[in-house]
Each structure stands twice: as C-alpha cells, then as structure tokens.
Amino acid sequence: MIDAIVPFIGLAAAVSFVLALRWMSAVPTARRGVLVGVAGMALAVIGALLRPEIIDYRFIGAALVFGTVIGVPMAMMPMTAVPQRTALSHSFGALAAALVGTAEFYLHAGSIDGGTMLALGLEVLLGSLTFTASLMAFGKLQELLPQRPITFRFQNYLNISLIVTAVVCVLLLAIQPQWTFLFPVIVILALSFGILFIIPIGGADMPTVISLLNSYAGLSAAAMGFVLGNTLLIVAGALDGSSGFILSMVMSKAMNRSFTNILFGAFGQVQAKAASTEARPYRSASPADAADILKTAGKVVIVPGYGMAVAQAQHVVHELYDLLMKENIDVKFAIHPVAGRMPGHMNVLLAEANIPYDRLIEMDEINGELPMTDVALVIGANDVTNPAARKDPNSPIFGMPIIDVDKAQTVMVIKRSMAPGFSGIDNDLYYMDNTLMIFGDAKSVVQQIVKAIGGK
C-alpha cells in the first residue's frame, strides 16, 4: 500500500515546486509561492521517510533534531541578514549532496557503472566547491572576512587549472571506476576551487555570486538524484539549477559583467584599484533641510540600498512614506536588480515593512519618470546610482545600467561618509550641483526627517 502511495507523493511535491517557482516570480503571488514550496518540501520529506529502504529511523530522528536546532535560529535571523542566511543554506545543502555522494562511492566502490560514476563525480565536485564557496561568501557578507577583492598573480590560470583537473579526474573515474584514489583528489580540488573562486570577488558583486552558487547547489542535487534513482531530486535540482543559472545571467547583465568573468572568479579586482583620493567639492544638508525640501515636492522617488539594510531603516522609511502620502505627495520606490547583497534584497525588506507592492518600481520603468521627479532620495545606495556608468568610458562600471537619479530636480543622499561603496569607485553623483549629502546612520537620519515633517 505504502509503495503505491510514495510515487504520488513525489509527483505532488514536484508539481508544488514548479508552481512555487512560477508564483515566486511575481511580487503579488510570492507569498503563495513560498507556502506552496514549503508544502512541497514537506511532502518530499514524508515521501522519503516512507521509502521501504529505510529500516531504522533512529539516526534520521537524531539528524532531524540536530537540523532543527541549527535551522530554527537561522530562520530567526533579521531580514537584513537574508543574504548571509542564504549563503549558509547553500553551503549546508551542497555539503549534504557531497556527503551523500561520498557515502555512495565508498559503499559501492568497484561496482558502480560508468554512467552512475559520472553523475556521482559531478555531484561531489559541485557539492564540494559550492560548500566552501558558500562559506566564503557568508564570511564576506558577515564581514568575518575582508570584503575587498583579494587577488594575486596568475589567479585565473590557477582557478582554471584546478577545475579542469577536477573534471578530468571525474571523467577518468567514470572510465576506470577501480581508480578509487582519484576520488579524494576530486574532493580536495573542488574544496580548494570553492575558496579561490570567492576571494577575488568584492562585496558589490555578491548578488551574482549568490545566484550562481544557488545554481551549483541545484545541479549537485540533480546529479544526486541520478545517483540515487530519485526522480523528485532530479526535478527539484534541475529547477533550482536552471533558475539560478538564468538569474545569474540576468544579474551579470544588470552589472554589465561577462558571464565567463563570473565563472572564473576574476571580477572585483578592477574595482578595488579604482578608488579615487581626489578632493572634490560637495554640498551637504541637515535632516531638517531635507524635511523642508520634501514637504514642497509633488513627486518623490526613494532609492533604497544596502545602507538602508544595514541600518534596518525599512520601517522608519515606511513612516516617511506614510507622512508624504498624507501630504498628497506621490512617492515611489526605485528598485535596482542588484541593490543590496542578493537578488530581490530591497523588495524583501520593503515588503517586510509593508510598503505597498505597487509602489516598488523596477529600474527600467522608473528611469523614465526621474526627469519629472522633484526629489530623488537615495538611502544607502551607491554604485547603482553612479552617473559614471553612463558618462565615463574609462570607469570600470561604464555601461552598467543604473537608476538615473541625477536627472531629478533635487537629489538627496543619506550616507555615513563620502567613502566609496563596495566597488571602490567614487560616485560622481555626490559632487553634482543638484545633489545634497546628508551624513549619518540611515535610520537615525530618516527618523529626524520624519519628526521634522510631522512637526514633532
């Protein structure tokens, strides 16, 4: 009876994953997509536990308790730490795939056919490199490791040599399964490549890296599905891998980077050398000045960035939005595809603060409105508002699509200091005649603006 039910549970889980991915692609249906995805994963776990191969649940129960002890605190991390949590999730999932592959290899060493060995080798290769790469990404996002790019001579050649050698070892092991000595070599090479893949990448490039690691983790799970003969794993892994890969391409386009540059971990080093030390004049203002300007505006566009996330200012930004709307001021939020530290980071934070979905406008659409905008208020966004990407052919970010805030009548930028952003590039916006710099913590500054507008 149970044997007949398990395939239907797997089918229901697979359908749930497909629907979840479809619904999560649009903001209004994203919550539904998450709930359906969670339900699908619950079905997948139940189906796995009902498989007749399981004869003892004690170790599974212990693993469930251990995983819950780790997972619940991770889920309680603040919304501003979503990128770090995502990187950790990738590392755990990839480690699980690599360990399952390792166990399968040593349990059946010498009796694995070439096709299965190829899938197993790719599973362990992708799982191992994603594990260390994701841990490194977590370290950079959490500022446990230097966020600046770390480069050295012949770095690209070393990275390519490591990954090519690992792939060759996988192919040799598939042809000659008795060469078991190659397996630990594959693991060591993959772990090393994962570390070296991340260290030359700066903090500004993390959105692309996270989506790429998501793809690697999914492909590793799909390969594990072929090894175990589990159709649901193949479906889920393929969905994860393909969506992550497509998202990586979208992110690289949004950052004006070639995809091959991302694959070989070479990007970030140019930006690290591009910081300018030239002293340039700029104009500053106080929160009270900002409040006076906002009260006289008819149309305001707010551009959130990582500075807003770090300061956890999204809720007080909602207060500012409410106040301005009550004054009959049209307020919209401009969302850049790579603002923050992961795709959709700003959308998540603003949704948490209950900003209406229809007020979150994508870059391509909002840019047409900025020339008719009275005030553009930039809160912690740096590189995604730099006019050099549009005007300076010598800039490392030249050609990168940006939010054209410089075309607004008045630009106000809330920032801690004049220091450049994660790319290390000075922002020409800060020195323009229509720009006012408001220095301080984003949350504190917006709170002062809210009090001044509200007359408190």
Residue 212 banded pLDDT, cuts 50, 70, 90: confident
Query: What stretch of H or E contains 220?
Result: helix 206-228
Say which residue the tokens 């300061």 belong to.
Answer: 311
Out of 68-77, 139-148, 245-254, give the one with best mean pLDDT.
68-77
Say which residue the tokens 């979208």 belong to.
Answer: 250
Q: β-strand 330-335 against 299-304: which pairing, if any?
A: parallel
**Do 305 and 80 meet the contact criterion of CB atoms below 8 Å apart?**
no
Domain boundaries, the chain: 1-76, 80-272, 287-454
Catalytic residues: 383
Among candidate residues 2, 96, 119, the one with its CA nearest the CA of residue 50 = 2
**Do 400 and 444 meet the contact criterion of CB atoms below 8 Å apart?**
no
Residue pLDDT, tens place only, 335-350: 988 787 777 788 888 8
**Do 335 and 363 meet the contact criterion of CB atoms below 8 Å apart?**
yes
Burial label, 368 (beta-carbon count in 10 A; 0-12, 13-18, 19+): exposed
Among candidate residues 170, 188, 172, 182, the one with its CA nearest the CA of residue 227 = 170
* More confident of the two residues 424 and 401: 401
With a cut of 70, say whether residue 420 has pLDDT above it.
yes
Say which residue the tokens 């079905």 belong to.
Answer: 43
Residue 372 banded pLDDT, cuts 50, 70, 90: very high
pLDDT of residue 255: 67
Other Cβ atoms closer than 10 A to 94: 28
Q: Determine the Cα–Cα distance for residues 74 and 94; give it in Å rounded to an integer.
A: 17
pLDDT of residue 204: 62
With a cut of 90, say whether residue 377 has pLDDT above it.
yes
Residue pLDDT, tens place only, 291-306: 999 999 999 999 998 8
Q: Considering all CA atoms of the chain, what is the largest pairwise distance in Å, rounded to the nearest integer?
A: 79
CATH superfamily of 287-454: TPP-binding domain (3.40.50.1220)
